[in-house]
Amino acid sequence: MEHPIPTIIIGKKGPFIIKGGAKLIHPDGREELRDGTVALCRCGLSAKKPFCDGAHKECEIL
């Protein structure tokens, strides 16, 4: 069975949205599989990095 190609949506503001799941590899080598939709922080202010927690709404970086 073929896997769908994940789609990355880059908006003018906010996180990078990955649809179709993703495998994240952390600096310590730990691998984390995520299904469905994943929102990755790009403002650097999230308390849940690498995931978005909505902190970008309070900053003027993006």
- Classify residue 11: in a domain, yes or no: yes
- Classify residue 29: in a domain, yes or no: yes
Provide the number of structural domains found in the chain.
Answer: 1
- Classify residue 2: in a domain, yes or no: no
The predicted pLDDT at position 39 comes to 95
CA distances to 41, 42, 47, 54 from 62, in Å: 11, 8, 17, 12
Task: Please tell me the distance from the alpha carbon of residue 3 to that of residue 39, in angstroms, as a whole number.
Answer: 20
pTM for the full model?
Answer: 0.78
Q: What is the DSSP letter of 55?
A: G
- Classify residue 31: in a domain, yes or no: yes
Q: Read off φ and ψ for residue 12, nearest 5 degrees.
A: -70, -30
Give the residue numbers spanning the domain of 31: 7-58
Read off the pLDDT of residues 5-53 as tens digits, 9 standing for 90 and up: 889 999 888 899 999 989 999 999 999 999 999 999 998 999 999 999 9
**Nearest in space to 24 (alpha carbons), one of 59, 48, 54:** 48
